[in-house]
Structure 1
Amino acid sequence: MRKVVFILLFYSCVVSAQHTYSVDTSYTVKSTYDKLIKKFPSITIPVSSKSKNVDPIMDIVYFKKNERTLHIDAFINQAKKKNPAVILIHGGGWRSGNKNQMNLLAQEIASKGYSCFTIEYRLSLEAKYPYGVYDVKNAIKFIKDNAKKFKADPDKIAVLGCSSGGQMAALIGTTNGNSAFDDPLNKSKSTSKVNAIINVDGILAFRHPESSEGDMASFWLGGSYEEKTDNWKQASALNHTDKNTPPILFINSSIPRFHAGRDDMIAILNQYKIYSEVHTIENSPHSFWFFQPWFDETVKYTTQFLDKIFK
C-alpha cells in the first residue's frame, strides 16, 4: 500500500512539474463555431485532406528551460529539396488558443510547395509581453538552425498570424534586426529575420482611432495604456514600420477594429515602395479562417502572395 501511495505521489509531482501554469481553453474552433452558426448558418469546419507530398512531424521541442518546453509542428513538402518556409501563429487574445488550431491551414499551404510550422508560445496567463514574441523569434531561429532537416530555405521565411497572432506576426516582421525584440538568452547565430508578413485580422496599433483594445491587451502588456504606455507603443507594429519592413499581405474580416493601423502602415510602405496587398472578405466575422467558405479563400490569397514574393 505504501508503495502505491509513493507511486501516485511521484506521478502527481511529475504532472505538476510539467504543467505549473494556468491554461485558458476558452478560444477553440468549436466554441467559435457555436457563437457564429446562428448568424452564419451555412458555415462548416474544413475537413483535413492530407497530401501525399506533405510529411507532418508533431511536437518538436524548440525551447526548454527548467521543466518548461515549447513545441512546433512541422508540415514539410517533400517534392523539392528546399522550400520557402511559413511560420504560423495562432490567435486567442494573447491568452488562449493553441498551435493545433493552425495545423489544417499549415497543411494546406504546405501542399502548395512550402515547409510550414505551427508554433506553441507562452500566453499571458503564463508570461506577459514580450515573452511570447521572444518565443516565436526563438522558433524562427530554431527552424533556420535546422533548415536542411526541414527542407526550408532560411532566406525565404514568411510569418503568418491570425488575430492576436496577426498582431505578433506584424510586430515580428517590422522588428527585423532589432535586437531588443530577441530573447537575450538565445545564443543561436541565426537571425530571426523574416522576408514576408501575412497578417490575418490582426491590429497594427494598440492605441489608434480605429482600435478598441481593452482588458485582453492590458493583461498581456502588463497594465493599461496609462500604466504601461511604453509597452503599448513598443508592441505596435505601426511604430516600427520603415524601409526595412518586408512585403506584407493583409487578409481582413469586414470588422474595422481588427485592422486598426493598417491604412497608416500601407502609407508608410508606399513611401519606401514596399509591396503590400489587401483582401477584405465581405460579410465575414472575426475568426473566419477557421471555417468554409472562408478557409479556402484564406489559403488562396496566402499562397498567391507567397508565390509572388518567393517563387
Structure 2
Amino acid sequence: MKKILFIMLLISNTILAQSNYSIDTSYTIKSTYNKLIKKYPFITIPQKQNNTAVTEIKEVIYQEDKNRALHFDALFNTKQKQNPAVIMIHGGGWRSGNKNQMHDMAREIASKGYSCFAIEYRLSLEAKYPEGIYDVKNAIKFIKDNAIKFNVDPNKIAVLGCSSGGQMAALIGTTNEILDFEDKSFKSKSSSKVQAIIDIDGVLAFKHPESSEGDMASFWLGGTYDEKPENWNNASALNHTNESTPPILFINSSFDRFHAGRDDMIAILNQYKIYNEVKTIQNSPHSFWFFNPWFTETVLCTTQFLDKIFK
C-alpha cells in the first residue's frame, strides 16, 4: 500500500512539475477563424490529408530537466532514407500558440519529400528571451543527433516560422553557431546550424522605422527598448545578417509592419549574392497560413523554395 501511495505521489509531482507555469490559450486557429470570417467569408480550414508515405511520431522529448520536458512532433516522408528537414516554429506573439498549429502545413510539406518537426518551446509567460531561441536550437541539435530515426539529412536543415515564429526562425538562421545564442549546458555532438530560412510574416528588426512592436515584444524581451536596448537589438535578425546568412524565403501578408526590416536585410543579402525570394500573398490578413486559399499558396511557395535550395 505504501509503495502504491509513493508511486501515485511521484506521478502527481511529475504532472505538477510539468504544468506549474501559465499557459495563454488566446491564439488558436479557431479563434483566428472567428475573427477573420466576417471580412473574409470565403476562407476554409484545411482538412487533414492522410498520406501513407508520411509517418507521424508525436510528443518526442528533446530536452528535459526535473521541472520541464520539451517536445516536438515529427511528420516525415518514409520513401527516402534521407530527407531535407524543416524545423517549424508556431506563432502567437511569443506568448501563445502551440506546436499543433503547424501540423497541417507539416503534413503537406512532408508529403513532398521532407521531414518536418513542429517544435514546442517555452513562451514568454514561462521564460523570457533568449530561452525560446535556445530551445529551438537544442531541438535542431537533437534532430541531427537522431537523424536516422527521422529520415533526416543533417546537412540539409531549414527553419520555418510564422509571425513571432518567423522572427525566431530568421534569428536562428542568422545566428548560426554564434556562441551567444547557444545553450552551453545542452550536450550534443551536433551543431544548430541551418542551411535555409523561411520567414512567414515575421519581423526582422524590432527597433526600425517600419516596426510597431510594443507590449508583446517588450514582455518577451524583458522590457521596453529604453529598458532593454541590447535585447531589442540582439533579437533582430537584421543586425546579424552577413555573408554567412543562409538563403531565405520571405512569405508576407499585405500588412507591411509584419516584415519590418526585410528590405534592408535583402540589400545585405544581395550584396553578398545570397539567394532570397519574396512572396506576397495579396489581400491577405496576418495568420493567412492557417486558411485556404492562402494555405495552399503558402505550401507551394515553401516547397518550391526548398526544392530549389535542397533538391
Q: TM-score, normalised by structure 1?
A: 0.97
1:221 corresponding residue in structure 2: 221
Query: C-alpha displacement at 1:9, in angstroms?
Result: 7.3
1:212 corresponding residue in structure 2: 212
Decide whether aligned partners of structure 1 residues 24 and 271 sit closer, same or farther in structure 2, where only a CA change above 3 A counts: same
What is the identity, as a one-letter code, of the residue corresponding to 1:46?
A: P
Cα deviations by residue, 1:269-301 (Å, 9 ceiling, x for unpaired): 000000000000110000000000000000000
Cα deviations by residue, 1:100-156 (Å, 9 ceiling, x for unpaired): 000110010000000000000000000000000000000000000001111100000
What is the identity, as a one-letter code, of the residue corresponding to 1:31?
A: S
1:297 corresponding residue in structure 2: 297
Which residues in structure 2 correspond to 1:2-81 (within 5 Å)? Answer: 13-81=13-81
1:112 corresponding residue in structure 2: 112
User: Is the counterpart of residue 252 in structure 1 residue 252 in structure 2?
Assistant: yes
For residues 231 and 7 of structure 2, the distance between their equivalents in structure 1, rounded to whole angstroms, comes to: 46
For residues 197 and 19 of structure 1, the distance between their equivalents in structure 2, rounded to whole angstroms, comes to: 32
Matched position secondary structure for 1:75: strand
Query: C-alpha displacement at 1:308, in angstroms?
Result: 0.3
Q: Structure 1: where are the runs of 5+ without partners?
A: none
User: Is the counterpart of residue 87 in structure 1 residue 87 in structure 2?
Assistant: yes
Decide whether aligned partners of structure 1 residues 186 and 297 sit closer, same or farther in structure 2, where only a CA change above 3 A counts: same
Query: C-alpha displacement at 1:184, in angstroms?
Result: 1.3
For residues 157 and 5 of structure 2, the distance between their equivalents in structure 1, rounded to whole angstroms, comes to: 51
Which residues in structure 2 correspond to 1:141-180 (within 5 Å)? Answer: 141-180=141-180
1:134 corresponding residue in structure 2: 134
For residues 121 and 61 of structure 1, the distance between their equivalents in structure 2, rounded to whole angstroms, comes to: 11
What is the identity, as a one-letter code, of the residue corresponding to 1:111?
A: S
Decide whether aligned partners of structure 1 residues 193 and 8 sit closer, same or farther in structure 2, where only a CA change above 3 A counts: closer
For residues 200 and 165 of structure 1, the distance between their equivalents in structure 2, rounded to whole angstroms, comes to: 8
Query: C-alpha displacement at 1:67, in angstroms?
Result: 2.6
What is the identity, as a one-letter code, of the residue corresponding to 2:280?
A: T
Cα deviations by residue, 1:59-104 (Å, 9 ceiling, x for unpaired): 0000001130000100110111110000000000000000000011
User: Is the counterpart of residue 284 in structure 1 residue 276 in structure 2?
Assistant: no
Q: TM-score, normalised by structure 2?
A: 0.97
What is the identity, as a one-letter code, of the residue corresponding to 1:300?
A: L
Matched position secondary structure for 2:258: helix
For residues 5 and 150 of structure 2, the distance between their equivalents in structure 1, rounded to whole angstroms, comes to: 45
For residues 230 and 10 of structure 2, the distance between their equivalents in structure 1, rounded to whole angstroms, comes to: 44
Decide whether aligned partners of structure 1 residues 180 and 7 sit closer, same or farther in structure 2, where only a CA change above 3 A counts: closer
For residues 8 and 142 of structure 1, the distance between their equivalents in structure 2, rounded to whole angstroms, comes to: 31
For residues 121 and 5 of structure 1, the distance between their equivalents in structure 2, rounded to whole angstroms, comes to: 33
Q: Structure 2: where are the runs of 5+ without partners?
A: none
What is the identity, as a one-letter code, of the residue corresponding to 1:221?
A: L
For residues 117 and 108 of structure 1, the distance between their equivalents in structure 2, rounded to whole angstroms, comes to: 12
Query: C-alpha displacement at 1:177, in angstroms?
Result: 1.9
2:261 corresponding residue in structure 1: 261
Cα deviations by residue, 1:172-228 (Å, 9 ceiling, x for unpaired): 000012011010101212100000000000000000111000000000000000000
For residues 8 and 145 of structure 2, the distance between their equivalents in structure 1, rounded to whole angstroms, comes to: 40
For residues 235 and 156 of structure 2, the distance between their equivalents in structure 1, rounded to whole angstroms, comes to: 24
For residues 28 and 205 of structure 1, the distance between their equivalents in structure 2, rounded to whole angstroms, comes to: 25
1:198 corresponding residue in structure 2: 198
What is the identity, as a one-letter code, of the residue corresponding to 1:262?
A: R
2:124 corresponding residue in structure 1: 124
Matched position secondary structure for 2:250: strand
1:102 corresponding residue in structure 2: 102
